[in-house]
């Protein structure tokens, strides 16, 4: 049984990501952990006075817990023919700390979340919470774009930056993911500063076991290269490797143009080293 952590702030985008996960994992036995991380600064004294007989924790968590129970009931009814179980979790903690604790204690296989939360920050590729989860949570992550509806996936694009290497645990996890969902691999090797024949040779050696499409882009900013490939090729899903000073650091650095999420309407699988 897979353990899937579904993060929700009850925004339309997080609910959409949850429904995407329901369809994505439909052929597998799963336990879904519906989780809301409650911020200490989000309550007022009125919240504490409303139910004087309750503890502070009970008073503060009453509303989000109620919303989670409603969401759980809706999912159980909508997907009653699937082999799914649901649990709810409320946590008072720093957002990333709460998720990391849940990943360990619940033996989580995937974290699923939308790429924008209640702030609706469309001017950047991913909402700040999503960026932090991708960078700091050591678990496979599925990030679902705002409004994206599930469609069967066939073509997966792995984008790798100049410091990324196609090997190790990340590559093994990618191969397992591809085998599970019967995907064809596209690889985009991005070299924004200069050509590196050694790393291209290493790539071709690692990928020799696969029937994949391999492309190298030299001397082009990473954001333009990724967008250009998505516009000219059929891609259903994206995969990214997260390593120190890797692809994401280039993509999110202040020196690069941010990618508007409306220009990158594909789900993203994030694999950690």
Residues 129 and 44 in one domain: yes
Quick check: is 273 in a domain? no
- For tokens 């650095």, the residue is 253
Domain range spanning residue 226? Answer: 155-268
**Reported confidence tier of residue 87, pLDDT bands at 50, 70, 90:** very high
Residues 13 and 59 in one domain: yes
pLDDT at 78: 97
Enumerate residues 6+ apart whose C-beta is below 8 A from 7.
14, 35, 36, 37, 99, 111, 112, 113, 133
Better pLDDT: 257 or 134: 134
Residues 15 and 111 in one domain: yes
Quick check: is 42 in a domain? yes
User: How far is residue 203's CA from residue 58's CA, in Å, rounded to a whole number?
Assistant: 54
CATH code where residue 27 lies: 3.40.50.620
Between helices 12-24 and 56-78, what is the axis angle to 10°? 50
Residues 113 and 177 in one domain: no
Residues 78 and 136 in one domain: yes
* Total number of domains constituting the chain: 2
Residues 129 and 23 in one domain: yes
What is the pLDDT of the chain when averaged over all its residues? Answer: 83
Asked if residues 146 and 13 have their Cβ atoms less than 8 Å apart, the reply is: yes
**Domain end point (choices 144, 175, 193):** 144
Quick check: is 149 in a domain? no
Which range has the worst mean pLDDT, 6-20, 117-131, 148-162, 229-243?
Answer: 117-131
**Reported confidence tier of residue 134, pLDDT bands at 50, 70, 90:** confident
Quick check: is 175 in a domain? yes
Query: What does the DSSP assignment read for 12-26?
Result: HHHHHHHHHHHHHTT
Residues 54 and 162 in one domain: no
Residue 31 scores a pLDDT above 50: yes
Which ranges in the chain belong to alpha helices (H)? 12-24, 45-50, 56-78, 95-105, 128-136, 168-181, 197-206, 222-232, 247-252
Q: Name the percent of the chain lying above pLDDT 70.
A: 79
State the pTM of this model. Answer: 0.85
């Amino acid at each position: 049984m897979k353990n899937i952590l579904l993060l929700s702030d009850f925004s339309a985008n997080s609910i959409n990501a949850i429904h995407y996960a329901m369809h994505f994992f439909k052929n597998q036995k799963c336990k879904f952990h519906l989780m809301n991380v409650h911020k200490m600064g989000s309550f007022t004294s009125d919240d504490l006075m409303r139910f004087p007989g309750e503890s502070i924790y009970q008073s503060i968590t009453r509303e989000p817990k109620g919303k989670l129970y409603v969401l759980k009931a809706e999912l159980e009814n909508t997907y009653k023919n699937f082999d799914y179980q649901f649990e709810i979790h409320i946590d008072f903690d720093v957002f990333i700390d709460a998720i990391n604790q849940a990943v360990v204690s619940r033996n989580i296989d995937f974290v699923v979340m939308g790429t924008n939360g209640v702030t609706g920050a469309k001017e950047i590729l991913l909402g700040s919470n999503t960026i932090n989860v991708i960078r700091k949570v050591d678990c496979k992550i599925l990030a679902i774009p705002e409004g994206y509806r599930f469609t069967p996936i066939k073509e997966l694009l792995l984008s790798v930056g100049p410091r990324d290497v196609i090997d190790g645990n990340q590559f093994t996890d990618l191969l397992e993911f591809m085998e599970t969902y019967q995907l064809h691999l596209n690889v985009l090797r991005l070299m924004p500063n200069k050509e590196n024949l050694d790393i291209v040779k290493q790539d071709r050696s690692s990928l020799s076991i696969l029937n994949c499409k391999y492309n190298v882009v030299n001397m082009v900013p990473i954001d333009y290269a990724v967008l250009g490939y998505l516009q000219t090729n059929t891609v259903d899903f994206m995969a990214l490797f997260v390593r120190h000073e890797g692809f994401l650091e280039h993509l999110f650095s202040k020196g690069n143009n941010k990618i508007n999420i409306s220009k990158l309407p594909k789900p993203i699988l994030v694999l950690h080293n």
